Amino acid sequence: MIVRPRILLLATVSSVLLFSGCLGFWVRTPGEIEEIQTDQDAMAVELAQLSEAVAENESLLRGLQAQSGSRTADLVERLATLADELDLALARMGSAGTIVQQDTMVGPGAQLVFDESYRQFQQGSFGIAADGFGELVETYPASALADDAMYYMAISWEEMGQSLRAIEDLVALHYLYPGSEWAPGALFRAADIYGAHSAEGDRDRLIELLLELYPGSDEAALAREMYPAEQVGQE
């Protein structure tokens, strides 16, 4: 039988490596392979746990920042942007004739909801109060108490640290019930919240609106005292 030189050479090299122990450098026994796989699986589990821990820490940090009232530039920018979008939407609603005409009568149902919500408000249960006031506005939008409920709902949000929702309801009150006795105070309160969050531009915009629409109100007089003309863009 004729053996090709190349095959003979490969067989010779393999024999030398096997007997010299060099082939063991590349060849692993089944036990060694299983051990390596076990180590890799353990490392994968540890990496997954580490990733989860990092994610939890990031979530915890965001929660702590929110609870501590973090006023970073990014949060202020988002607050202003969302509120601007709300203003635009409500302005369009107002131009479309969606101003609510309130009844002179309160109505027993609205009175009952308002009284219970206001009781919760006085007791400091602002979440329950906000829900109750919101129910009144949604169920009885034309009630004589609807604007009152909307104002106290906004204050409830503010008391719970939810500034954006407070601004939304305060500005909405102005657009939906422009003739309400609460409208000037709602604009002033919304402007004050903006100022507390270092959003002076949005604060000044609402102050200008207050001075333009309700120049004879007590809130307008207070605004002139607190914010001189040159600070709010007045001539």
pLDDT digits (tens, 9 = 90+) for 15-40: 443 444 443 433 444 454 455 556 55
Both tokens assigned to 21: 């122990």
- Res 177: pLDDT: 94
Pick the CATH number of 73-231 from 3.50.50.60, 1.25.40.10, 2.60.40.10, 2.40.50.320: 1.25.40.10
Taking only the tens place, the pLDDT of each residue in 88-130 is 445 444 443 456 666 656 678 899 999 999 999 999 999 999 9
Model confidence pTM above 0.85: no
- Res 33: pLDDT: 45
- Res 228: pLDDT: 76
Q: For the residues of 51-107, what is the DSSP string, one character each? A: HHHHHHHHHHHHHHHHHTT---HHHHHHHHHHHHHHHHHHHHHHHTT------S---
> Is there a contact between 167 and 49 (Cβ–Cβ < 8 Å)?
no
Where in the chain are the domains? 30-70, 73-231
CA distance 219 to 190: 12
**Across residues 1-19, what is the average pLDDT?**
42
Q: What are phi and psi of 128, to 5 degrees?
A: -65, -40
Taking only the tens place, the pLDDT of each residue in 179-217 is 999 999 999 999 999 999 999 999 999 999 999 999 999
